[in-house]
Structure 1
Amino acid sequence: MARARTSPSISDVREQLGERIAELSKRAARLSPLDIHAQMDAIRQVAATNGLAALEELAHRSAQLALLPGHRISVRCCLEHMDEALSSDRSTDTNAILAALAIRLH
């Protein structure tokens, strides 16, 4: 008998992303720009897989910024806002925070 594969709940996904963001925040100062890019791309992939379009685009842009001069400041700012957005209990707050950050980075 085959088991039906269940997808993770949005709260599980948010928790997983929060853990990845926290880990990257702790280690970002010691990582190379390419390592930061790879970590941000991994966050983007999880967001994309789970339909979190705003976070996906923000992670994509952050991954690109990680390769530019001044990347440590921009990546730290992105990670702080991503964590704040994921910690919010209201989806409207989450989307507003991510949209404001995306505009600021554009």
Structure 2
Amino acid sequence: MTRPLDQVRKQLGDRIADLNKRAARLSPLDIHEQMDAIREVAAVNGLAALESLAHRSSQLALLPGHRIALQCCLEHMDEALDGNGTTDTNAILAALAIRLH
């Protein structure tokens, strides 16, 4: 039997994979909306690391250089899906900040 959280993680993983495939063809506003939808599902299901990363990604999607930022964020999404709590959130966002600078 599959646990409900496993189903949510699979659903989010599928959304992330789809976004990764289509990102080059999407407008910044479309990317922002996709990331915000991922953030919302993560928030409702207590996936704090993914919620924080998706929130930051949705903001970066609207700025110049958004394609590079999005790619960096997407590369950390698997970690965020498996992450729990503030420590994981901070570590993932710190790794992202280092990559973006």
Which sections of structure 1, spanning at least 5 residues, go unmatched?
A: 1-7
Q: Measure the CA separation in 2 of the matches of 1:18 and 1:25.
A: 10
Q: Give TM-score, length-normalised by structure 2.
A: 0.81
Which sections of structure 2, spanning at least 5 residues, go unmatched?
A: none
- Structure 1 runs of 4+ off > 6 angstroms? none
Which of the two has greater helix per residue?
2
1:1-106 equivalences under 5 Å are 9-86=4-81, 91=83, 96=88, 98-103=89-94, 104-105=96-97
Query: What is the Cα deviation at residue 33 of structure 1?
Result: 0.2
Q: Once the two structures are aligned, what percentage of the paired residues are identical?
A: 68
Preserved CA contact (<8 Å) 2:80 2:92: no
Preserved CA contact (<8 Å) 2:50 2:80: no
Q: Give TM-score, length-normalised by structure 1.
A: 0.77
Q: Aligned residues, how many? A: 93
Give RMSD over aligned pairs: 2.1
